[in-house]
Structure 1
Amino acid sequence: MTTTARHIIRLRPREGRRVRAGAPWAFSNEIVMSGGPKSFTPGTVVELLGDDGAALGTGYFNPKSLIAVRLLGPPGADIGVPFFVEKFARAKALRERFYDTPFYRLVHAEADGLPGLVIDRFGDTCVVQVTTAGMERLTLDMLEALDTVIAPTNVIMRNDTASRSLEGLDAYVRAAKGDAPPRLKIEENGVRYFADPSGGQKSGWYYDQRDNRAFMARLAKDARVLDAYCYSGGFGVLAAANGATEIVGIDSSESALALATAAAAENKVAERCTFMKSDVFETLEKFANQKRHFDVVICDPPPFAPSRKDVEAGARAYRKLARMASAIVAPGGFLMLASCSYNVSRERFAVECAAGIARNARGAALIRDAGAGADHPVHPQLPETAYLKALAYRLD
């Protein structure tokens, strides 16, 4: 898209400070909405100006969204195939510094300069998630650039996230190129897993926990390990491959447990792995009543606070999980608690975890305070992109 006759969006007086400081968004209450902007088609590429007329950047605009403008580049940027080629090549080069195999998050939205776009790479298959009207309108250019830089055999558009409705977009899943295989093989931390790119959660796999899985696996040798909310076996199978004597994985999804079982067999650790469909809180209570203990307990739940109104209830749930999980950790054992709820701050999460552990009169030492890996970079002006928290403790 060229800059010819590009629409203009102006900020209201005294509303340019955040954008000038590097924020990639302008909210609807910060811009002049009277006149033309209300009639602009959602996703229109625009020039953002300050109230003084100074050009601040190029982005796309949605008059129906709270986040009205999402910036793509500097003033006058040409948003087309070459733009995406440069962004993808830069993102790929960063990942290749850290990962020897082509299994990683290739694009992480604003942190890679591409708001509304997430791409996970599974070898010769890419799973693409578009969450905004602006990126939806740029999809053809984006896919052409992806073919230039990555040349995947398969491209799956996994556009079924709830956030699309906020942008007035329909939900759909389809293959934009090639096929949509029902099962993909993944290589991570020297172990092979399986993912369902069309029907699984998110893109079918959680690359964000890669480093935390590797850390916990170092504690697993000769250990009894409980992998709660195990999904498709990310923590548990790696722990087994690193010498754990027993793995118990719990999840509510039969399809995810089938993938975990397949991964255990693929890595020849099936005889040490038991995966069960069950409610985690009920199972933790049952194990406590049975006085059953584990040397390593890992809890990686779905978001307990998916929105701001859920923060207090979510915080209570994290405290309860910490209390119940720490009750079944053997003396001298290890507990990892994770949260992907960006609405619950890292500080609040740590407070709730510590309080839950303390309810069992357990002494604890925090040995790891981490987030996602390098393929999930964080935009310095968007704390939301640092959503993942992972705390590991040694318990007395």
Structure 2
Amino acid sequence: MTCKFYLKKGMGRKSENGYPWIYLNEVASYDGEYQNGDIVEVYNFKNNFIAKGYINNLSKILIRLLTHDINENIDESFFKKRLHQAWDYRKRMISDTSCCRFMFGESDFIPGLIIDKYEDYYVIQCLSLGIDKYKDIIVKILINDFNANGIYERNDIKIRKLEGLDQVKGFLTQPFDTKIQISEYGIKYLIDIENDQKTGFFLDHKENRQAIHRICKDSTVLDCFTHTGSFALNAAAAGAKSVLGIDISCQSINDARKNAELNNLSHIAKFECHNAFDALHTWAKEGKKFDVVILDPPSLAKSKSNISSAVRGYKEINLRGIKMVKSGGFLVTCSCAHYMDKSLFESIVYDAAKDNKRLLRQVDFRTQSPDFPILPNFNESYYLKFYIFQVI
């Protein structure tokens, strides 16, 4: 018999409207027995069915919801249907599906499951105990239905500790070379899905990398926090006069140089190992100027508790970055922090411009690529803010 959970009066309305999580403090009582990871049913205080999902009382998120259909079984056919729906969506929404986010957890209606596709190789992350129990089924479907040549798990992420799960990584199929060459809109990259950040590449900027092409032709470009050079290489491919990419990781800089060579762009795109905060501070003082300055830092707000320090960090780099843009040039500035909301981030950039006595004109605003869909009733799915400003 499936265990049933009953919510307190006034709770559950968000979940009835599509919010995919139930928290422990929303529950009034439950009927039956369960083990963590089991599928349970959720009802409101009137005893009306809301949804089914997997449970884990070790997590702040007690139940992650999978379906609002009481008659839908959570089995292999369920996951097969969800994966095919996710892939059909991507084929419709993005023109280059050779590398993309194949499954974006709650936004694709399988909470806690991340799948990234790199050509015929797939990287899986299971962020919750519930989906971790179905990992073998997911692997089977990717092999049988999506012709996966190899599958690797990058479950070496801290969030799994909150679910009572070990941090692990390794092959879920026969071993293969985890250093893979990919292509995105004609730009080639060498990635290492075993050791690179996240799952090997920042796929969420797919469309944003294309957006900078029109401002980089015949320009001098500074790309800060370049990682393995994706924005820098797109600037070079767009016809920039010169591009300098900087990053604190010397390994990333070496990888960026290899990517420049791979695309025959080494004569335009140069890379140096610097702490971007220090370099921006020094170079702004020295009066260095560029036609385009790109700021794409790692998340500076990992939680609500460090918003204040994040504000200071974003303010500092945007203050220096704006100062280094030639009159009429462009600032590209980003935040990938979910807790840094759009209005707050905008106010930081505008204040930085005001302190520089410069005027900004917004040229473009974007979020994450369409293969990272945003659910309006699940704000946690919206995290990336990407702006292009002209600096007057």
**What's the % identity of the aligned pairs?**
29
Match of 2:263 among 244, 258, 267: 267
CA distance in 2, matches of 1:101, 1:316: 37
Is the 1:101–1:187 Cα contact (8 Å) retained in structure 2?
no
Map of 1:385 onto structure 2: 381
Is the 2:99–2:183 Cα contact (8 Å) retained in structure 1?
yes
1:35 shift after superposition = 7.5
1:56 and 2:61 correspond: no
CA distance in 2, matches of 1:33, 1:294: 62
Match of 1:253 among 241, 246, 249: 249
Map of 2:311 onto structure 1: 315
Is the 2:96–2:184 Cα contact (8 Å) retained in structure 1?
no
Map of 2:216 onto structure 1: 220
1:32 shift after superposition = 3.0
Map of 1:333 onto structure 2: 329
1:76 shift after superposition = 3.2
AA at the equivalent of 1:330: K
1:217 shift after superposition = 2.0
1:288 and 2:284 correspond: yes
CA distance in 2, matches of 1:12, 1:181: 51
Is the 2:6–2:30 Cα contact (8 Å) retained in structure 1?
no
AA at the equivalent of 1:341: A
Query: Unaligned 5+ residue runs, structure 1?
Result: none
Match of 1:127 among 123, 147, 164: 123
Map of 1:93 onto structure 2: 88
1:81 shift after superposition = 1.3
1:46 and 2:40 correspond: yes
1:164 shift after superposition = 0.7
Deviations 1:194-215 (A, max 9, x none): 2111111111101111111111
1:14 shift after superposition = 2.3
AA at the equivalent of 2:75: G
Correspondences of 1:1-396 after superposition (within 5 Å): 5-32=1-28, 40-73=34-67, 74-97=69-92, 98-396=94-392
1:291 shift after superposition = 1.8
1:265 shift after superposition = 0.5
1:34 shift after superposition = 6.7
1:36 shift after superposition = 5.6
* Count of aligned residue pairs for this structure pair: 390
CA distance in 2, matches of 1:145, 1:82: 10
3-state secondary structure, aligned to 1:177: coil
Runs of 4+ off more than 4 Å: 33-37
3-state secondary structure, aligned to 2:267: helix
Is the 2:293–2:330 Cα contact (8 Å) retained in structure 1?
yes
Query: Unaligned 5+ residue runs, structure 2?
Result: none
1:99 shift after superposition = 2.4
Deviates more, 1:323-332 or 1:177-186: 177-186
Deviations 1:201-250 (A, max 9, x none): 11110111111111112211111111100011110011111111111111
3-state secondary structure, aligned to 2:28: coil
Is the 1:117–1:135 Cα contact (8 Å) retained in structure 2?
yes
Is the 1:82–1:145 Cα contact (8 Å) retained in structure 2?
no
Is the 1:371–1:390 Cα contact (8 Å) retained in structure 2?
yes
Is the 1:58–1:76 Cα contact (8 Å) retained in structure 2?
no
Deviations 1:155-193 (A, max 9, x none): 011001111111111001111013253421121122111
CA distance in 2, matches of 1:269, 1:290: 28
CA distance in 2, matches of 1:102, 1:86: 21
CA distance in 2, matches of 1:305, 1:35: 39
Is the 1:192–1:263 Cα contact (8 Å) retained in structure 2?
yes
Is the 1:85–1:148 Cα contact (8 Å) retained in structure 2?
no
AA at the equivalent of 1:275: F
TM-score by length of 2: 0.96
1:289 shift after superposition = 2.7
- After superposition, the CA RMSD in angstroms is 1.4
3-state secondary structure, aligned to 2:371: coil
